[in-house]
Chain A
Amino acid sequence: KQEVTQIPAALSVPEGENLVLNCSFTDSAIYNLQWFRQDPGKGLTSLLLIQSSQREQTSGRLNASLDKSSGRSTLYIAASQPGDSATYLCAAPFSGGYNKLIFGAGTRLAVHP
């Protein structure tokens, strides 16, 4: 069964801390992996997309890595800020599913001043 799992479900950190969010997937035959941010009551904002041939992508203070062989992706947030507080979701299209995204349940992040 094709599944995406995110750990931890929730995380609370003080401002300025570097942190890592984890995403694991059951099938290495993914075409890419996309990280999203969702603010309460809002839609999903695409943060980073890593193609299956890539190892990592960076955007500002965000760095996402992908290790297909181990079925893992991480989202690294440097120098966290209160404005980073949101739910972070990872999702991937698996082989045989065209571009249908399978989502994890998300990690709810709170960065406190």
Chain B
Amino acid sequence: EAGVTQFPSHSVIEKGQTVTLRCDPISGHDNLYWYRRVMGKEIKFLLHFVKESKQDESGMPNNRFLAERTGGTYSTLKVQPAELEDSGVYFCASSQEKGYNEQFFGPGTRLTVL
């Protein structure tokens, strides 16, 4: 069974540009989560999808971040326009069904904003 995959693995962009990160969860997992770690800090929650619906987006830092999960399969996280403080590693995770289940993480996308 394939794990959570993320694309790209690295992205380097200029301040003000747009970047789109993609996450493919484990097949059959309804729950999809985005987290990020910025330099020197703990991993922080961004948002949670249940199928195509946003269950919790309390961690999204501002309206420059837009997450979608069309059709309840893969998800994209767009940052527009990117700022220097957006640099970090963005992780995606997925879990089965409802409830407080084990989350499985992808390898992350390292974003560098210059």
Residues of A that sit less than 8 Å from B by CB = 4, 31-32, 34, 36, 42-46, 49, 51, 89, 91, 93, 97-106
Contacts and interface: CB of A to CB of B under 8 A. Distances in A.
Given A44-B105, A89-B43, A93-B100, A99 B59 contact: no
Interface string B8-50: 0000000000000000000000010101000000111100100
Interface of B: 4, 31, 33, 35, 42-45, 48, 55-56, 58-59, 91, 93, 95, 99-108
Contacts of B95: 99
B86 to A, nearest CB: 19
Contact of A31 (B55, B100, B104): B100
20 contacts: A4-B42, A31-B100, A32-B100, A32-B102, A43-B106, A44-B91, A46-B102, A98-B48, A98-B55, A99-B101, A99-B103, A100-B33, A100-B59, A101-B33, A101-B43, A102-B45, A103-B42, A103-B43, A103-B44, A106-B42
A89 B103 CA distance: 13
B43 A43 contact: no
